Amino acid sequence: MTRIIFIRHGKTSGNLRGAYIGRTDEPLCAEGIKELEAKAFPKADIVISSPMKRCIQTAGIIYPDMPIRIYNDLRECDFGDFEGKSYAELNGNADYQAWIDSGGTMAFPNGEAHKDFTDRCCNAFLEAVSENCGKVIAFVVHGGTIMSVLERFAVPKKGYYDYMKKNGCGFLTEFSDGEIQIIGEI
């Protein structure tokens, strides 16, 4: 059994605007930093992060004295033509409406397909866990990354969007025999 802490990175300016921020490598905003500094997080033996600034900064604030192991395939989805745009800015866009109508499963125009994204995240998760089995691992990653992993491995089964968390929040879990049990929220 491996205890796993999933933490979504702190707020960025794009998060404040309600924008789709995937491949854009933006840092935390002042509000995001302040919120993280005011909160207590569970202790970990290993800290794993996406390569994006917002995740690395979050990990550094939460676990300041620990080395951060970077896994490139834990990065957020490439939102393609929707990147950097807010819901309001995309309102009325035919491609955006088609994506909404698909329940968020259609590939983003000029971006990443949902299945490719979730496969990438889940494979990186399994690699990280196998390399650090038996430890308490903190994954400081993106909302989409967390949702992908939990949709695939958490029991009882739920949908992708059922695992959405606010910035700086997450789940305390246990991983054993290919299944994740959620034992608490952060």
Q: What is the DSSP string of 117-161?
A: HHHHHHHHHHHHHHHTTTSEEEEEE-HHHHHHHHHHHBSS---GG
Cα 113–chain centre separation: 16
Residues 143, 9: Cα–Cα separation, whole Å: 8
Question: Cβ distance 106 to 59 under 8 Å?
Answer: no
Predicted TM-score of the model (pTM): 0.94
Query: What's the topology of domain 2-77+113-185?
Result: Rossmann fold (3.40.50)
The CA–CA distances, whole Å, from 26 to 21, 55, 172, 182, 185 equal 8, 10, 26, 30, 26
* Tally of residues, the chain: 186
What does the pLDDT look like over 116-168, one tens digit per residue?
Answer: 999 999 999 999 999 988 899 999 999 999 999 999 999 999 999 999 999 99
b/e code 130-158 from CB counts within 10 Å (16+ = b): eebeeeebbbbbbbbbbbbbbbbbbeeee
pLDDT per position as a tens digit, 60-78: 999 999 999 999 999 999 9
Structure tokens given for 157: 């089964």
If you average pLDDT over residues 101-122, what whole number do you get? 91
Q: Are 66 and 49 in contact (CB under 8 A)?
A: no
